[in-house]
């Protein structure tokens, strides 16, 4: 069993991971290739496909705004207030997971898995995995963690590769992570390396790839002379690879090792980064496809894959109206950015923040973790906060677990991560 010294810093109280399990057979076919793709490649392909599948439209309408923002606020508040109420104790007992196959000894928290019906008529349900705090669980805040994609699994990525209590080893067993029992309160929405605006995201990506040495001045000049980053653009303006092939780099963390596939079917990480294994996705896929594991999770028998095609065609081009609505209604929103991510990079998030047209209340400053810079932070009117996490990729907890934990800790406290000088 692997013990990951670096990751033992990572400590979590409570995690809810929700994954959409495909209710219909038509989606199953799309999952079959997933096991042969790199972890990040499968997510990247998913986002690229999503961007290109969307109808060229002008900016999002008020109708889609109300549909979305209403749902997200209501459900997060309901979850906080009502989950695991007394009338649900029978359901709770049925969903309890005695142990996952390969689980290490000494696990001192309860875990649950099962389905939450969201549309009975159409047979739609969400799969969830819930890890309870070891003590006084009912008084602890609830953290609901959702991965993007769109259509990528919160269980497989968030739960197994980012911040869940276990990681899958190459021997098909899980190992334990360290637990921290600090009591904190959930107070708002925290979104990491978000895809916020169809056009601004591309603009920020080109700028990021150029400023980090992956694109030349000439390529950037070519892009900027052909693309306006609005709905007048040709499709090529939404594809970085049409302009320049930057080689085998993980765009989700341009400084991380990548997973190398050998012709004989074996695979290995291209280099070493403490606490991170570029090939961790493979054993996770194997583990989650083990029938005993699926049974232990109370999941339907399924061919599990990291991402599924939701066929989502009417997503808004921009989340700016939704963000404005949430800020106006007093919900604290923190956006964070792992600054090694080239997919939804810090530069893109900044463009969207500019579009929110907020006033700065606490200007950009470093925050520290272990006496060095963990990232930077700036706060705006309405408590809107932008935090960067230094040397983290798209999946911040996978790359910088300690910095990610500090960020989460201060978000839950509603206080900006501090700057501590020696
Ligand atoms: C893990 O499971 C896979 C698929 O069931 C199997 O091929 C492989 O040999 C197993 N590895 C170990 C070390 O047991
Ligand atoms: C796109 O941006 C260009 C340059 O700013 C502008 O001239 C054009 O009118 C815009 N097109 C649309 C559809 O917004
Ligand atoms: C600019 O990019 C386009 C599309 O990728 C390409 O066809 C063209 O050759 C490029 N032009 C220059 C001058 O690099
Ligand atoms: C941005 O905010 C300023 C000051 O509140 C206001 O004068 C301006 O019209 C706003 N601009 C946009 C595009 O909303
Ligand atoms: C748990 O994490 C918080 C935030 O990083 C830290 O302040 C606290 O000391 C940790 N507690 C333990 C027992 O490790």
Q: How many CB atoms lie within 10 A of CB 247?
A: 6
- Residue 62: is its pLDDT beyond 80? no
Q: Is 228 in the pocket of ligand 2 (CB under 6 A)?
A: yes
The CATH number for 99's domain is 3.40.50.1820
- Residue 157: is its pLDDT beyond 80? yes
- Residue 193: is its pLDDT beyond 80? yes
Mutate which of 202, 232, 317 for ligand 2? The one with the most ligand atoms within 8 Å of its CB, which is: 232
Q: Which of 161-165, 246-250, 286-290, 393-397 comes out lowest in average pLDDT? A: 161-165
Q: Is 286 in the pocket of ligand 1 (CB under 6 A)?
A: yes
Q: Which of 84-88, 196-200, 345-349 comes out lowest in average pLDDT? A: 84-88
Beta-ladder partners of 260: 268
The three-state secondary structure class of 187 is coil
User: How is residue 132 written in tokens?
Assistant: 């309870």
Q: Is residue 182 part of a domain?
A: yes
Nearest to 366 by CA among 349, 345, 387, 384: 387
Question: Which of the four pLDDT bands, split at 50, 70 and 90, describes residue 155?
Answer: confident
For residue 67, what pLDDT is reported? 26
Closest ligand 3 atom number to CA of residue 244: 5
Mean pLDDT is highest, among 156-160, 209-213, 231-235, for 209-213
Mean pLDDT is highest, among 39-43, 124-128, 333-337, for 333-337
Q: Is residue 125 part of a domain?
A: yes
- Beta carbons of 310 and 362 less than 8 angstroms apart: no
- Beta carbons of 131 and 103 less than 8 angstroms apart: no
- Residue 40: is its pLDDT beyond 80? no
Phi, psi of 390 (to 5 degrees): -70, 135
- Beta carbons of 413 and 360 less than 8 angstroms apart: no
Q: What is the mean pLDDT of the chain?
A: 77
CA–CA dist 328, 384 (Å, integer) = 10
**Mean pLDDT confidence for 198-227:** 96
Beta-ladder partners of 417: none
For residue 49, what pLDDT is reported? 72
Residue that is written with structure tokens 């290109």 in the block: 52
For residue 61, what pLDDT is reported? 33
Q: How far is the CA of 360 from the centre of ligand 4 (A)?
A: 13
Residue with CA closest to ligand 5 atom 12: 180
Nearest to 110 by CA among 120, 99, 121, 118: 99
Nearest to 26 by CA among 171, 123, 140, 129: 123
- Residue 125: is its pLDDT beyond 60? yes
Q: Is 224 in the pocket of ligand 3 (CB under 6 A)?
A: no
Q: Is residue 11 part of a domain?
A: yes
Question: Which ligand lies nearest to the CA atom of residue 199 in the structure?
Answer: 2
Q: How far is the CA of 97 from the centre of ligand 2 (A)?
A: 55
Q: Is 236 in the pocket of ligand 3 (CB under 6 A)?
A: yes
According to DSSP, the β-strands at 111-119 and 124-131 are antiparallel
Mean pLDDT is highest, among 75-84, 110-119, 256-265, for 256-265
Q: Is residue 244 part of a domain?
A: no
For residue 38, what pLDDT is reported? 37
For residue 79, what pLDDT is reported? 32
Number of domains in the chain: 1
Q: Is residue 227 part of a domain?
A: no
Mutate which of 222, 226, 234, 245 for ligand 3? The one with the most ligand atoms within 8 Å of its CB, which is: 222
Q: Is the dihedral of CA 155, 157, 160, 164 positive or negative?
A: negative
Residues 6+ apart with CB under 8 A from 343: 44, 47, 193, 205, 251, 252, 394
Q: How far is the CA of 409 from the centre of ligand 5 (A)?
A: 9
Q: Is residue 236 part of a domain?
A: no
According to DSSP, the β-strands at 144-145 and 166-168 are unpaired
Question: Which residue did the predictor score with more confidence, 332 or 21?
Answer: 332
Nearest to 341 by CA among 404, 406, 267, 393: 393
Q: Is 182 in the pocket of ligand 5 (CB under 6 A)?
A: yes
Q: How far is the CA of 171 from the centre of ligand 1 (A)?
A: 7
Q: Is 405 in the pocket of ligand 5 (CB under 6 A)?
A: yes
Q: How far is the CA of 380 from the centre of ligand 4 (A)?
A: 14
Question: Which of the four pLDDT bands, split at 50, 70 and 90, describes residue 23?
Answer: very low
Beta-ladder partners of 380: 360
For residue 308, what pLDDT is reported? 84
Interval 383-401: pLDDT, tens: 999 999 999 999 999 999 9
> By residue range, what is the domain housing residue 165?
1-214+249-422
- Residue 96: is its pLDDT beyond 80? yes
For residue 172, what pLDDT is reported? 61
For residue 362, what pLDDT is reported? 98
Question: Which of the four pLDDT bands, split at 50, 70 and 90, describes residue 75?
Answer: very low
According to DSSP, the β-strands at 144-145 and 15-20 are parallel
Q: How far is the CA of 219 from the centre of ligand 2 (A)?
A: 21
Q: How many CB atoms lie within 10 A of CB 184?
A: 18
Residue with CA closest to ligand 2 atom 7: 228
Q: Which of 55-64, 144-153, 374-383 comes out lowest in average pLDDT? A: 55-64
Question: Which of the four pLDDT bands, split at 50, 70 and 90, describes residue 149?
Answer: confident
For residue 53, what pLDDT is reported? 67
Mean pLDDT is highest, among 130-134, 254-258, 407-411, for 254-258
Residue with CA closest to ligand 1 atom 5: 286
Question: Which residue did the predictor score with more confidence, 274 or 85?
Answer: 274
pTM for this structure? 0.74
Q: Is 179 in the pocket of ligand 5 (CB under 6 A)?
A: no
Question: Which residue did the predictor score with more confidence, 16 or 267?
Answer: 267
Q: How far is the CA of 406 from the centre of ligand 5 (A)?
A: 9
Q: Is 222 in the pocket of ligand 3 (CB under 6 A)?
A: yes
Beta-ladder partners of 168: 174
The three-state secondary structure class of 282 is helix
Total residues found in the chain within this entry: 422
Question: Which ligand lies nearest to the CA atom of residue 321 in the structure?
Answer: 4
Q: How many CB atoms lie within 10 A of CB 5?
A: 8
Question: Which residue did the predictor score with more confidence, 108 or 343?
Answer: 343
Q: How far is the CA of 359 from the centre of ligand 4 (A)?
A: 10
Residue with CA closest to ligand 5 atom 9: 182
Question: Which ligand lies nearest to the CA atom of residue 286 in the structure?
Answer: 1
Q: Is residue 221 part of a domain?
A: no
Q: Is the dihedral of CA 293, 296, 299, 300 positive or negative?
A: positive
Q: Is 235 in the pocket of ligand 3 (CB under 6 A)?
A: no
Q: Is 119 in the pocket of ligand 1 (CB under 6 A)?
A: no
Q: Is residue 100 part of a domain?
A: yes
Q: Is 287 in the pocket of ligand 3 (CB under 6 A)?
A: no
According to DSSP, the β-strands at 267-269 and 372-380 are unpaired
- Residue 224: is its pLDDT beyond 90? yes
Q: Is 243 in the pocket of ligand 3 (CB under 6 A)?
A: yes
Q: How far is the CA of 226 from the centre of ligand 3 (A)?
A: 9
**Mean pLDDT confidence for 258-276:** 92
């Amino acid at each position: 069993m692997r013990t990951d010294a670096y990751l033992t810093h990572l400590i979590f109280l409570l995690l809810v991971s929700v994954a959409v399990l495909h209710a219909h057979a038509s989606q199953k076919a799309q999952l079959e290739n997933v096991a042969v793709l790199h972890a990040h490649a499968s997510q990247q392909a998913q986002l690229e496909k999503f961007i290109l599948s969307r109808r060229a439209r002008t900016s999002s309408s008020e109708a889609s705004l109300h549909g979305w923002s209403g749902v997200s606020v209501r459900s997060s508040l309901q979850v906080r207030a009502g989950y695991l109420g007394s009338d649900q104790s029978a359901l709770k007992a049925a969903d309890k997971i005695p142990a996952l196959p390969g689980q290490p000894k000494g696990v001192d928290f309860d875990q649950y898995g099962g389905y939450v019906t969201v549309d009975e008529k159409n047979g739609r349900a969400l799969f969830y995995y819930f890890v309870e705090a070891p003590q006084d669980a009912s008084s602890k805040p609830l953290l609901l963690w959702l991965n993007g994609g769109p259509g990528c699994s919160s269980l497989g990525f968030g739960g197994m590769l980012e911040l869940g209590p276990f990681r899958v080893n190459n021997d098909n067993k899980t190992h334990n992570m360290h637990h921290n029992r600090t009591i904190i309160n959930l107070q708002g929405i925290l979104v990491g390396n978000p895809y916020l605006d169809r056009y601004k995201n591309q603009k920020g990506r080109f700028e990021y790839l150029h400023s980090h040495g992956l694109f030349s001045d000439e390529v950037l000049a070519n892009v900027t002379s052909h693309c306006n980053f609005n709905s007048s653009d040709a499709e090529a303006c939404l594809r970085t690879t049409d302009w320049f092939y930057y080689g085998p780099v993980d765009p989700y963390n341009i400084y991380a090792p990548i997973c190398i596939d050998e012709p004989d079917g074996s695979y290995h990480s291209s280099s070493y980064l403490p606490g991170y294994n570029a090939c961790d996705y493979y054993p996770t896929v194997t583990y989650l496809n083990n029938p005993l594991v699926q049974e232990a999770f109370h999941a339907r028998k399924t061919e599990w894959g990291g991402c599924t095609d939701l066929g989502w065609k009417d997503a808004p081009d921009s989340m700016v109206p939704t963000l404005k609505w949430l800020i106006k209604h007093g919900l604290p929103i923190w956006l964070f950015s792992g600054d090694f991510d080239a997919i939804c990079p810090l530069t893109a998030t900044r463009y969207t923040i500019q579009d929110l047209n907020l006033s700065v209340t606490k200007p950009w400053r470093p925050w520290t973790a272990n006496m060095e810079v963990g990232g930077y932070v700036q706060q705006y009117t309405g408590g809107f906060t932008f935090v960067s996490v230094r040397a983290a990729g798209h999946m911040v907890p996978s790359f910088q677990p300690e910095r990610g934990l500090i960020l989460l800790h201060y978000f839950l406290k509603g206080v900006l991560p501090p700057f501590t000088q020696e």
